[in-house]
Amino acid sequence: MLLAIGSIIMVVLAAGYSLIMPGRRHGGSTGVSGIGLSTLLAVLSGTAIGILSAQAVDYSKLLAMAIVVPVMAALGYWGGRKYSLRFAAHMVLIGSVSGYAGVIFGIGFFSANRVIFVTDVAFIVLLFIVLRLAEANTRTVRTDRGRVKSSTVNRGAGFILMYGTGLTAMAIAITLWGNSVSVGQIGQPLTQLSEYDTEHDLQIAQVEIGAAGLSPANTDFTKGGMMKINFQVKASAGANLTLTSSDLNVDAPLQTGDNVFLFNNPLPGTYKFAVGDRVCTFTVK
């Protein structure tokens, strides 16, 4: 959760600078080129924020859009008002629509536990490329406006280069050291190992049931002894849920919160559990 929120803040800050500051810099992009650049940045920013918001709120479309719309309304207004109020409204709309597309995309790929990292890195790299191309175009157009004007533009380019390098370094750090963060905090893990409770001679594990499905998708147990599994149902999973398993003859209603099941010495093999159309497995080795 904290990593997702931090990623959203990082993207918002980068997007805010990119949308708002170019219009404040003397010699920034104007006219058709500026409008095109701002629109592209709004699409990029909305999509990235949508993907990250989907994971931050446990894949709830409504809550994710509650984050996306206010953020893109603020960024779109401040980024577009330097051209006209009509264009500012266009920026708000295009950013919100892109954010919704990002939410749908993020939910669709919930099972990849590195979605947040990929989103951060892709957004920052694309943002840096767009800004560098825009700055190069600005320098070309304004070459003949004198030494002072050229010096101002070059200083702006240097600042963007430094800013972009810093953001890229931050993205690389997230990618390299992301594995030190618990996988459960950054997405849906694919597998887990059960823990052994020596005091009660039990193998224990917990499976979370949310809007995205059952997490993790598989849990490994060791042959012998009793298994204790807690199916923890989140509010986002919905109501009137039933856990079924034809392999172990389970057909039990679930309630929000903890639902504990005990299984005595199952034989080696893979056992399938389902909640509606959402599935997970237990593997006894």
Q: What is the CATH number of the domain that holds 231?
A: 2.60.40.420
> pTM higher than 0.75, yes or no?
no
Per DSSP, the three-state class of 84 is coil
pLDDT at 107 over 80: no
Of 19, 4, 2, which is closest to residue 73 (Cα–Cα)?
Answer: 19
Number of domains forming the structure of the chain: 2
pLDDT at 214 over 90: no
Of 146, 161, 183, at which residue does a domain stop?
183
Reading the block at residue 179, the tokens are 């594995």
Reading the block at residue 78, the tokens are 């401040």
Of 164, 183, 202, at which residue does a domain stop?
183
Backbone angles phi, psi at 248, to 5 degrees: -115, 15
Backbone angles phi, psi at 199, to 5 degrees: -65, -40
- pLDDT band at 66, cuts 50/70/90? very high
**Domain co-membership, 178 together with 195:** no
Average pLDDT, the chain: 76
**Domain co-membership, 208 together with 136:** no
Q: What was the pLDDT predicted at 271?
A: 92
pLDDT at 117 over 90: no
**Domain co-membership, 176 together with 216:** no
**Domain co-membership, 197 together with 163:** no
**Domain co-membership, 164 together with 56:** yes
**Domain co-membership, 151 together with 251:** no
- pLDDT band at 181, cuts 50/70/90? very low
Of 133, 166, 183, at which residue does a domain stop?
183
**Domain co-membership, 110 together with 177:** yes
**Domain co-membership, 164 together with 198:** no
Render the burial of 90-127: b for 16+ CB within 10 Å, e for the rest: bbbebbbbbbbebbeebbebbeebebbbebbbebbeeb
**Domain co-membership, 34 together with 112:** yes
Find the domain containing 215 and state its range. Answer: 190-284
Which of the pair, 113 or 239, is modelled with greater confidence? 239
Q: What was the pLDDT predicted at 183?
A: 38
pLDDT at 175 over 70: no
pLDDT in tens, 1-57: 666 677 788 888 888 887 776 555 444 455 567 787 888 888 888 888 888 888 788
What is the spatial distance between Cα 254 and Cα 243, in angstroms, rounded to a whole number? 7
**Domain co-membership, 70 together with 108:** yes
What is the spatial distance between Cα 138 and Cα 27, in angstroms, rounded to a whole number? 8
Which of the pair, 67 or 107, is modelled with greater confidence? 67
**Domain co-membership, 175 together with 201:** no
pLDDT in tens, 67-79: 999 999 999 998 8
**Domain co-membership, 14 together with 109:** yes
